[in-house]
Amino acid sequence: MKKILDSHALMIFLEKEPGFEKIESLFIDATQKDNNLLMTTVNYGEVYYIVLRECGQKKLNEIKRIIDTLPIDIIDADKNLAEQAALFKASKKISYADCFAAALAKINSGEVITGDEEFRALEKEVKISWV
C-alpha cells in the first residue's frame, strides 16, 4: 500500500516532534524496499512556505537539501488529482491542501500519514495512519 505524506507529517519529522520516530521508520522502510513515499506538490508547497515564513531563506535552503535526500516522490497536481481534492473540499470541513494528500491516497489506494486532526473528517473515505 502506498504511503502518502501530508505536510504535517513531514514537519513532525523535520522538527523532531513527538511521532518523529514513526516517520523516520517509514523512511528507512521505504529506502530498504525501494518504495518511496508520495507527497503532492501542494503539500510540499505548504512545508516550503511554513519554513520560509517561520525560519527564513537560509533554513529553507537547508530543509530543501534534507527533503531531497528523503525517499519521497513529489507528485504534480494534475486535473484528476485536483478534481478528487475538490470533491473532498466540497463535502468536508478540511483545508484544501489536506484534500490533495487525501486525493492522492484515494487515487493510489494508499494511506495518508498524518497527525493533523482535520483528516478525521475523511476517515471513511481514505485510510489514515496516525502519527
Architecture of domain 3-130: 3-Layer(aba) Sandwich (3.40)
pLDDT confidence of residue 58: 97
Span 27-66, pLDDT tens digits: 999 999 999 999 999 999 999 999 999 999 999 999 999 9
Report the pLDDT averaged over residues 107-123. 96
Those residues whose C-beta lies under 8 Å from the C-beta of residue 131, and which sit 6 or more positions away, are 8, 9, 12, 19, 22, 23, 113, 114, 115
Q: Please name the amino acid found at residue 73.
A: D
pLDDT category at 81 given cuts 50, 70, 90 is very high
**pTM, two decimal places:** 0.94
Q: Please name the amino acid found at residue 95.
A: S
pLDDT category at 5 given cuts 50, 70, 90 is very high
H-type alpha helices, 34-126:
41-55, 57-69, 79-91, 96-107
Beta strands 37-40 and 72-75: pairing type? parallel
* Tally: H helices and E strands in the chain: 6, 5
pLDDT confidence of residue 54: 96
Domains in the chain: boundaries: 3-130
